[in-house]
Amino acid sequence: MRVLQAGLNGLAEGSDHDLLVIGAGGAGLATALFAALEGASVLLAESTEKVGGTTAWSAGTSWIPGTRHAAEVHPGDSLAQAANYLDHAVGEQAPPALRQAFLAQGRAAVDEAEQRTALRYRPYPKHPDYLSELPGAVLAGRALEPLPFDGRLLGELFALLRPPIPEFTVLGGMMVDRTDIGHLLAMNRSWASFRHSMALLGRYAADRLSHPRGTRLVMGNAHVARLLYSLLAHPKVTLSLNTTVAHIEDGADGVRVVQLCSGEQRCAVRVRRAVVLASGGFNRHPVLRAKWLPNLPDQWSPAAPGREGQAHDLALKAGAVYHQGRPSAAFWAPVSMRQRQDGSTAVFPHFVLDRAKPGMITVNGDGQRFVNESTSYHLFGLAMQQAHLHAPSIPAFLVCDARALRAYGLGMVRPGGKGLKPFLADGYLTEGANLAELAQRLGLDAKALMVTVERFNHHALQGVDPDFCRGQTAYERNLGDAAWPGPNPSLGPLVEAPFYAIRLYPGDIGAATGLATTANAQMIDAQGQPLPGWYAVGNDMQSIMGGAYPAPGITIGPGLVFARIAARHALGVTP
């Protein structure tokens, strides 16, 4: 692979390429890789200076049913069960043909990736579908995680990989996954955890002698790094960073002339087969955001830079349309925010580490609960917006007692209960000697908050939540604390002073609404006819889940599968 970091320097005017892929996030890199496996020449244009997009910041999970890995942890699962689950979870929110193609081609995509590239996966022993109460849901097997990757193998290209969110690292740059976190928290109680933790710390210390951060990569960083490393073996791929596409013109011979821009530089290239949009979705397109996500500031989004929608304007000009009929144009997570020392804003998504644990509740501006705290992050974000129509729920307040703070942390505050002063000083964390004082400092009605906590505590001791049914499903109980001595791992009272709270906002983590396509990822026009040579993958493509979020990795998994489908269809490779 040839990499152009200094704009378009090195890209010949009028050069020919089989495919133009717009965007070098997870789906774009995968599209380029699958096309390269077929011998195609690919130009990969990335608008930022880094590769990986939001995938690099994510947990890196790929939800793909029916792979060979599923049998390791759930041999009884089947594609028919997965189809039944999606029928119930998604229904008519998205075209059924899309999820049928996804299920039919998922195993082939994973098999080819593992056999012919550096991508490697493992199933987590327990990683439930989010709507575990629905028919066809499973507790494990469909969610695949990338194996850790040694970033040193990338050489100089390690610097091109988008680093993880700093607040998701340890000691200023050491990446950890859920297994590592468990060992670190137990290192003083278990010899195995102590050894695991010492190995992590030793590797990180060695890394920092020659690198700005740790080179043991996990989660989304590992997924992206494996894609990037795989592309190094393909000399017919060109990656051009800091590059946008200004104009696409169809030629008389079917070859498109594409005008590229990088700062003041301009270059025209020829694309013989197809243009594939993988630019990350509409979310930062100023017009579309105002239309589909009104009154929800982009500053609340924890997604990576990019996603500004210029490529969408080109596709719309060519006749593409967006899919209609979605209940939500985006996927959501509750986030908390804090200004960093360099003046930037840390946006921290609350996925699994705190809000569903015993000793925590979420209340609105009236001091009352309004949501099942153990529901999925997407449904939590939607609930905040819906509740705000009737009572002040943005921001909401995630409240806990001192025991819960020590045990689980609170957002950017790490477990252990130490080092709270900076968080208290800048207002990220609010403390009260009692609930009345906490309410006063948050601007809440003290009596209302105390009544809410008293009611919650009474029922939590019994392991039930008659108000919001928290901790009833297998997924919700899995988010709790398996070591909790009470009858429900997700329910525990708030009793130990002092009490703490942080503010939560709904942040969009990805686009659900995308360009309408066929089951081959080919864009269609308003009459439903395919647009020759135009494809969309990742969050540029209408989500196969519609506005539902039924499982972990429902953007990265389909992104990989449809990357392969799009590349092969564009190149005329038979299924």
Is residue 154 situated within a structural domain?
A: no
> Is 525 in the same domain as 498?
no
> Is 374 in the same domain as 243?
no
How do 2-4 and 237-240 pair as beta strands?
parallel
Could you tell me the CATH number of the domain that includes residue 428?
3.90.700.10
Is residue 157 situated within a structural domain?
A: no
> Is 130 in the same domain as 264?
yes
Is residue 22 situated within a structural domain?
A: no
Q: What's the CA gap between 229 and 67, in Å, rounded?
A: 23
- Residue 124: predicted pLDDT: 86
Residue 355 has φ and ψ, to the nearest 5°, of -60, -25
Q: How far is CA 282 from CA 286, 312, 323, 541, in A?
A: 9, 7, 13, 10
- Helix/strand/coil percent split, the chain, to 5: 35, 20, 45
> Is 384 in the same domain as 443?
yes
Could you tell me the CATH number of the domain that includes residue 520?
3.50.50.60
- Residue 423: predicted pLDDT: 98
Is residue 465 situated within a structural domain?
A: yes
- Residue 325: predicted pLDDT: 67
> How many alpha carbons fall within 13 Å on the CB side of residue 1?
26
Question: 546: domain range?
Answer: 2-8+37-147+220-283+512-570
> Is 45 in the same domain as 140?
yes
Is residue 466 situated within a structural domain?
A: yes
Helices (H), 293-434: 310-317, 377-387, 402-408, 421-425
Is residue 346 situated within a structural domain?
A: yes
> Is 474 in the same domain as 555?
no
Burial 24-41 (b: 16+ CB within 10 A, else e): bbbbbbbbbbbbbbbebb
Among 229, 86, 246, 209, CA closest to 148 = 229
- C-beta atoms surrounding 18 within 10 Å: 20
> Is 363 in the same domain as 454?
yes
Is residue 303 situated within a structural domain?
A: no
Number of domains in the chain: 3
> Is 85 in the same domain as 118?
yes
Is residue 313 situated within a structural domain?
A: no
Decide if 563 contacts 535 (C-beta within 8 A).
no
> Is 428 in the same domain as 491?
yes
Of 479, 508, 537, the residue at which a domain comes to its end is: 508
Of 492, 508, 524, the residue at which a domain comes to its end is: 508
> Is 492 in the same domain as 533?
no
> Is 135 in the same domain as 275?
yes
| pLDDT tens over the chain, length 575 residues | 999 987 788 899 999 999 999 999 999 999 999 999 999 999 999 999 999 999 999 999 999 999 999 989 999 999 999 999 999 999 999 999 999 999 999 999 999 999 999 999 999 889 999 999 999 999 999 999 999 999 999 999 999 999 999 999 998 899 998 888 888 888 888 999 999 999 999 999 999 999 999 999 999 999 999 999 999 999 999 999 999 999 999 876 778 999 999 988 999 999 999 999 999 999 999 999 999 999 999 999 999 998 788 899 999 999 999 998 677 999 999 999 999 999 999 999 999 899 999 999 999 999 999 999 999 999 999 999 999 999 999 999 999 999 999 999 999 999 999 999 999 999 999 999 999 999 999 999 999 999 999 999 999 999 999 999 999 999 999 999 999 999 999 999 999 999 999 999 999 999 999 999 999 999 999 999 999 999 999 999 999 999 999 999 999 999 999 999 999 999 999 76
Among 266, 275, 279, 283, CA closest to 248 = 275
> Is 504 in the same domain as 516?
no
